[in-house]
């Protein structure tokens, strides 16, 4: 699995996002488009960024009945994204349906990964709100195994969990990990963070980096620093 840095383009609208991407004149980062940008700018923003030559991770975290997810994934696949995701909590049947919808007529498809438990969900909330009584680590690993059994390519997880996920699900099972900060940078609202270098050591396949790049004085230099530390 080739390692790469994915830039989380968490902007409120199309103009801010394109203005940011205009700064990258000599490289084309892998871009993550999340709900905020997608809901404000619509599918056209995906086509426009794709046409500029970027790879795209469309982070919409689908979770619905299998038939609805299958049909929605077919639409996302036609947008020609490179990676997309869903909630493993939607069950194996939903993940299998998603994979079917995502697969194009020629057999190709975007990488499909699953969110296990959101990192914003505490073990306490899981027990009290969701009535899930197993330890959160076990739930994360169980959901990762479900994703693998359903034929998915990997999961979103903390870099700190990447090694364990690989041990359980194999070295080729992709780990996409947010929560990355430079050793000398602001942590912001992320709780358990690692540096790009440490994420590499821990076995992450892709790191998702937002504010350390988007809010940097020189975003291109910050991106290149990430690549240098993570990819080498």
Enter the tokens of residue 25: 């004149």
Which positions ≥6 away from 190 have C-beta within 8 Å?
Answer: 178, 179, 181
* Helix (H), strand (E), coil (C) string for 167-195: HHHCCCCEEEECCECCCCCCCCCCCCCEC
Contacts of 224 (CB under 8 A, 6+ apart): 27
Part of the chain binding ligand C5P (CB under 6 A), chosen from 13-21, 76-84, 139-147, 205-213: 205-213
Start-to-end C-alpha separation, the chain = 15
Could you tell me how many residues of this chain bind ligand C5P (CB under 6 A)?
15
Interaction between residue 209 and ligand C5P (CB under 6 A): yes
User: What residue is closest to ligand C5P based on CB?
Assistant: 210
Residue from 221, 207, 160, 192 nearest 8 by CA:
207
Residue 217 CB, nearest approach to ligand C5P (Å) = 16
User: Judged by CB under 6 A, does residue 208 bind ligand C5P?
Assistant: yes
Specify whether the CB–CB gap between 226 and 218 falls below 8 A.
no
Q: Which stretch binds ligand C5P (CB under 6 A): 127-135, 160-168, 202-210, 217-225?
A: 202-210
From candidates 12, 118, 187, 228, binder to ligand C5P by CB under 6 A:
118
Is position 119 an interface residue for ligand C5P (rule: CB under 6 A)? Answer: yes
- Give the span between the Cα atoms of 139 and 132, in whole angstroms: 8
Q: Is residue 127 flagged as an active site residue?
A: no
* 12 counts as binding ligand C5P under rule CB under 6 A: no
Q: Which of 3, 61, 100, 198 is catalytic?
A: 61
Active-site amino acid positions: 61
Interface with ligand C5P (CB under 6 A): 8, 10, 34, 118-119, 156, 178-179, 188, 190, 208-212
């Amino acid at each position: 699995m080739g390692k790469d840095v994915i830039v989380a383009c968490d902007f409120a609208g199309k103009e801010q996002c394109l203005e940011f991407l205009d700064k990258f004149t000599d490289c084309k980062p892998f871009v993550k488009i999340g709900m905020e940008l997608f809901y404000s700018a619509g599918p056209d923003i995906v086509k426009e960024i794709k046409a500029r030559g970027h790879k795209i991770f469309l982070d919409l975290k689908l979770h619905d009945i299998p038939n609805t997810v299958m049909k929605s994934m077919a639409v996302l696949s036609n947008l020609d994204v490179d990676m997309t995701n869903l909630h493993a909590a939607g069950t194996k049947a939903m993940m299998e349906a998603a994979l079917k919808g995502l697969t194009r007529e020629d057999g190709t498809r975007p990488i499909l990964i699953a969110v296990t438990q959101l990192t914003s969900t505490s073990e306490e909330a899981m027990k009290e709100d969701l009535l899930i009584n197993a330890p959160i680590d076990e739930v994360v690993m169980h959901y990762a195994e479900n994703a693998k059994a359903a034929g998915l390519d990997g999961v979103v997880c903390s870099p700190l969990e990447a090694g364990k996920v690989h041990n359980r699900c194999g070295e080729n099972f992709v780990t996409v990990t947010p929560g990355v900060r430079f050793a000398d940078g602001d942590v912001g609202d992320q709780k358990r963070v690692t540096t790009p270098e440490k994420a590499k050591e821990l076995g992450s396949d892709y790191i998702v980096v937002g504010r350390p790049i988007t809010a940097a004085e020189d975003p291109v230099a910050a991106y290149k620093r990430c690549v240098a530390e993570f990819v080498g």
